[in-house]
């Protein structure tokens, strides 16, 4: 009997622990689905049934009259935002309350590779952003552009190499190899040659970074359910050794000194030589309201984390965006013709050579790319974490420190309230101002505010150059195995990916 009583008490204690936060939204009068003990409303993500983006889209449409919807990520309250004004408040005007992404489940114990600009929180993020912003100026970008052109020409001549009768290729894979090679060149000064080498080490490393395994899902679930007990559990252990070995090898070859390549590694080494980064704290405020002064030393560990996020984010987001744009152009031949006519016309002005100025003039190509990332944004949702109590006056709602904010970007991008006929691929919509002024607040393929993507211009130019290189020589059509309505991989909780790739027929153009 005593054993049964102990088991009963343990079961009750576990149940109470696993449901202890589940009255949060009810008390605040916010509509929400009924949560499940421990899992909250997130069971389908943990079970690989739906990605976080897909769940965000579902919640967005399930409560069409609400400005916000309650959600529980495991046991942590999360607010799904459906209102453009609240998005502006979270991302821009009240940024001081929402400067954290909240993707690290523990505030003080952060694994080495998570100390990168994308995942870093608080003062670590602020100081890194402060020091690294000059690396992405238009001048630096223009200097890198010959490296983009060189890889784009390889893409034309070697990777695709399609005859007039056509060749079926996975556009996602081809564009991933192109962007991998460019990031290798401008980031590390390395000729990765993923476009020519089938089993390129760097392409495989890129695949491994984004390949989700069951063990990672379990770890993520446990870290979200038991953040204190699982704080030392690593999510990036699968690639940590390879990543550190790669970075160490690059740094040793340069003798830990800038070597004159002016690539991303050189910039980081130059920043390290400047000494500690010093700035005002975003976390620590003196009693008189003035931020404290904080500093950061760029250790090898932190440099390694920046190099790996530059590699991972640089190739995966661009390859997703460019391949989806090609997919839509294949199904919209009239739009493809307009894009190709512009590319031909602009290149004729520049002796048929790709260059920075030429790509900058390709307005309709830019519109087509913007439309592609509207319909299928690489990051289909944004997450922020409330760092101190914050009130949304129009809702008479106050949320507490630690509450997450989810912005369902994919859902906003496909809402007819903001985009007329959102299911149609219409690049021309980006030639003029939007009918609904709020559209600018919800078009968020690169985020918005101080934590917007630092590499937006670099990603944009490498994507446009890759598309221009392909479409100047080839036309794309649906292949026999192409699926019109793509099936999103439910395990892709970072950059969205699709099941089965994006096969297309590439045909050599006759000009």
Query: Which residues make up each annotated binding site?
Result: 453
Say how far apart CA 416 and CA 434 lie, in whole Å: 12
| Cross-strand partners of 79 | 70, 405
Query: Would you call 302 helix, strand, or coil by DSSP?
Result: helix
Please, is 437 exposed, middle or buried when counting C-beta atoms within 10 Å of its C-beta (0-12, 13-18, 19+)?
exposed
According to DSSP, the residues that pair with 278 across neighbouring strands are 295
Contacts of 358 (CB under 8 A, 6+ apart): 346, 347, 349, 350, 468
Strands 76-81 vs 404-407: parallel, antiparallel or unpaired: parallel
DSSP H/E element including 246: helix 237-253
Q: Give the residue ranges of the annotated binding site for heme.
A: 453
Beta pairing partners, 498: 488
CA distance linking residue 115 with residue 3, whole number of Å? 46
Tell me the three-class secondary structure of 310-374, residue by residue: HHHHHHHHHHHHHHHHHHHHHHCHHHHHHHHHHHHHHHHHCCCCCCHHHHHCCHHHHHHHHHHHH
Tell me the C-alpha distance between 502 and 493, whole Å. 19
Spatial separation of the C-alpha atoms in residues 176 and 170, rounded to whole Å: 10
Residue 332 CA to residue 338 CA, distance in Å, equals: 10
**Euclidean distance between CA atoms 76 and 307, whole angstroms:** 31
User: How far is residue 180's CA from residue 203's CA, in Å, rounded to a whole number?
Assistant: 7
With contact defined as beta carbons under 8 Å apart, do 282 and 388 qualify?
no
The closest of 281, 275, 277 to 293, measured between CA atoms, is 281
- β-partners of residue 70 are 32, 79
SS (H, E, C) 139-205: HHHHHHHHHHHHHHHHHHHHHHCCCCCCEEEEHHHHHHHHHHHHHHHHHHCCCCCCCCCCCCHHHHH
């Amino acid at each position: 009997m005593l054993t049964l009583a102990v088991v009963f008490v343990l079961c009750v204690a576990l149940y109470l622990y696993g449901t202890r936060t589940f009255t949060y939204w009810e008390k605040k009068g916010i509509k929400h689905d009924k949560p499940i003990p421990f899992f909250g409303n997130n069971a389908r993500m943990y079970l690989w049934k739906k990605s976080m983006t897909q769940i965000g889209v579902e919640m967005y449409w399930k409560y069409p009259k609400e400005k916000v919807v309650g959600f529980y990520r495991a046991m942590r309250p999360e607010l799904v935002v459906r209102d453009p004004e609240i998005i502006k408040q979270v991302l821009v005007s009240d940024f001081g309350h929402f400067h954290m992404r909240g993707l690290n489940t523990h505030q003080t114990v952060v694994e080495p590779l998570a100390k990168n600009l994308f995942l870093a929180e608080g003062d670590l993020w602020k100081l890194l952003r402060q020091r690294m912003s000059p690396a992405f100026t238009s001048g630096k970008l223009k200097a890198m552009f010959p490296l983009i052109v060189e890889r784009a020409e390889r893409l034309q001549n070697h990777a695709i190499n399609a005859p007039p009768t056509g060749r079926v290729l996975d556009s996602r894979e081809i564009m991933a190899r192109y962007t991998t090679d460019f990031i290798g060149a401008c980031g590390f000064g390395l000729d990765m040659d993923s476009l020519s080498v089938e089993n390129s080490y760097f392409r495989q490393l890129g695949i491994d970074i984004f390949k989700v395994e069951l063990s990672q899902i379990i770890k993520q679930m446990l870290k979200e359910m038991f953040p204190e007990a699982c704080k030392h559990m690593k999510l990036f252990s699968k690639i940590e050794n390879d990543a550190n070995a790669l970075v160490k090898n690059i740094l040793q070859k340069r003798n830990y000194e800038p070597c004159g390549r002016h690539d991303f590694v050189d910039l980081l080494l130059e920043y390290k030589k400047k000494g500690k980064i010093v700035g005002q704290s975003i976390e620590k405020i003196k009693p008189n309201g003035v931020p404290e002064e904080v500093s950061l030393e760029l250790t090898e560990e932190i440099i390694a984390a920046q190099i790996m996020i530059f590699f991972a984010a640089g190739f995966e987001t661009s390859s997703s965006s460019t391949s989806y744009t090609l997919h839509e152009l294949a199904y919209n031949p009239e739009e493809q013709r307009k894009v190709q006519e512009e590319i031909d016309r602009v290149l004729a002005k520049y002796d048929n050579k790709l260059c920075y100025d030429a790509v900058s003039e390709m307005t309709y190509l830019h519109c087509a790319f913007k439309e592609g990332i509207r319909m299928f944004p690489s990051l289909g949702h944004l997450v922020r974490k409330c760092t101190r109590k914050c009130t949304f006056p129009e809702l008479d709602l106050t949320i507490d420190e630690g509450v997450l904010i989810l912005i369902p970007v994919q859902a906003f991008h496909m809402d007819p309230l903001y985009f007329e006929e959102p299911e149609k691929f219409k690049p021309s919509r980006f030639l003029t101002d939007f009918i609904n002024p709020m559209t600018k607040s919800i078009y968020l393929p690169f985020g918005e505010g101080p934590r917007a993507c630092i590499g937006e211009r670099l990603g944009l130019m490498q994507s446009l150059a890759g598309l221009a290189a392909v479409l100047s020589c080839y036309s794309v059509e649906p292949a026999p195995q192409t699926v019109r309505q793509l099936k999103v991989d439910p395990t892709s909780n970072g950059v969205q990916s699709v099941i089965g790739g994006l096969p297309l027929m590439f045909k050599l153009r006759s000009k």
